[in-house]
Structure 1
Amino acid sequence: MTTEIGLFGSIDAETLASAEEQKAPELVYGSAEEFLHEQLLPTYVRDVDGRAAKWCIEWYFHPEAVSRIEALWRAWEHLRLDGATGISVWYKDHADHHMSVLLDPRGPFYKCDMQKHRDPEHLEPKRAPSGWFPDVRQQLA
C-alpha cells in the first residue's frame, strides 16, 4: 500500500507508521520549575551556606538562573532517553557546569541569601557606533 505525499512522491504505510512512532517522547516534567523542585534540587544537594555556595529563594527573578534551569531541564529530558550514559553525560556536561555557576558566590545570586531576594545590578554597556555591527538578517534576505 502506498500513501501519496504531495509533489515529492509517495511513502509506504510501514515507513509512515515508523515515522509516527518516532514522534518526540512525552516529557517527564511540564516546566523548568517542576523539574527544579521535583528532580534537580532533591538530587543535586549542596550545603548552601552563603559563603561557598549561594541560592536565592526567589530564583525566578534572575533571568540567568531561569535560562540555565530551563537548559538543564531540556537537556535532562533529552539525555534521560539514553539508557547507557545519558544521565552521566547530563551530570558531567550540564548539571555540574550550570550548578557551579548558579551556586557560585559571585554568580547570579551574589546579592541574595536564603531569606531575601535582592535585585541584581545589570550591566549597562554603551551601544557601539552605528554600522559597526550590521544586522546580518538583512544581508541574508
Structure 2
Amino acid sequence: MADDFGLFDTDTPAPATSQGEEGKTEETPELVYGSAEEFLHEQLLPTYVRSITGKSTKWCIEWYFHPEAVSRVAAMWRAWEHLRLDPATGMSVWWRDHADHHMRVLLDPQGPFYNCDMKEHRDPEHLEPKKAPAGWFPDVRVQDR
C-alpha cells in the first residue's frame, strides 16, 4: 500500500556509505528502525502518551491512509535516527523541534485526522486546487539548463 503514496513513500533506506572530507568512504550508522511504521509502534507511540478525546485531539487507527501523517511520521523517524547520535542534546532537540511539532499538528482536531475517530477511518476530503494560468510557475528545471 505504501507505493500508493508516491512522494509520501519515505521508507526508502538511506545509503549505507558516504564520502568523507578526504574522499574516504565512511560508514553510515545502522538504522535502529527499518521503517516509519516500526518507529511509530516501537518508539513514538509508547513514549508519546496522550489522552485522545476526539474533541481536543484526534487520531486515526488507520493513520497510514493519510499521506500527511505518513510523511510526518517518516520525518520524525528520520530526524530521530539522526539526532539519537548526538549524546548531548540530540533527544532534546528531537522532542522540541520534531516530535512536539509534528504530533501537535497530527493530533489537532483540524489536522489530517479531522474526519476520523479512534475506532474508524474516514477518507479525508482533499483540498481542490485550480491550476494557475500558464507561465505563472515556470519549470525551473528547464531554466537551469
Of Structure 1 and Structure 2, the greater helix share is in: 1
- TM-score using structure 1 length: 0.85
Aligned residue-pair number? 124
Secondary structure of 1:98's aligned partner:
helix
Partner of 2:122: 118
Following superposition, the deviation at residue 91 of structure 1 comes to 0.2
Question: What amino acid sits opposite 2:38 in the alignment?
Answer: E
Of residues 46, 50, 54, the one that matches 2:50 is: 46
Mapping for residues 10-49 of structure 1, pairs under 5 Å: 19-20=24-25, 22-49=26-53
Of residues 58, 65, 68, the one that matches 1:61 is: 65
Query: Which consecutive unaligned segments of at least 5 residues does structure 2 have?
Result: 1-21
Following superposition, the deviation at residue 71 of structure 1 comes to 0.1
| Counterpart Cα distance in 1 of 2:128 and 2:55 | 27
Following superposition, the deviation at residue 121 of structure 1 comes to 0.4
Q: Does 1:130 align with 2:134?
A: yes
| Counterpart Cα distance in 1 of 2:72 and 2:104 | 11
- TM-score using structure 2 length: 0.83
Question: What amino acid sits opposite 1:43 in the alignment?
Answer: T
Question: What amino acid sits opposite 2:114 in the alignment?
Answer: Y
| Counterpart Cα distance in 1 of 2:122 and 2:97 | 30
Q: Percent identity?
A: 76
Question: What amino acid sits opposite 1:49 in the alignment?
Answer: T
Partner of 1:4: none
Query: Which consecutive unaligned segments of at least 5 residues does structure 1 have?
Result: 1-14
Q: Which has the larger radius of gyration?
A: 1
RMSD of Structure 2 on Structure 1 (CA):
1.1
Partner of 1:88: 92
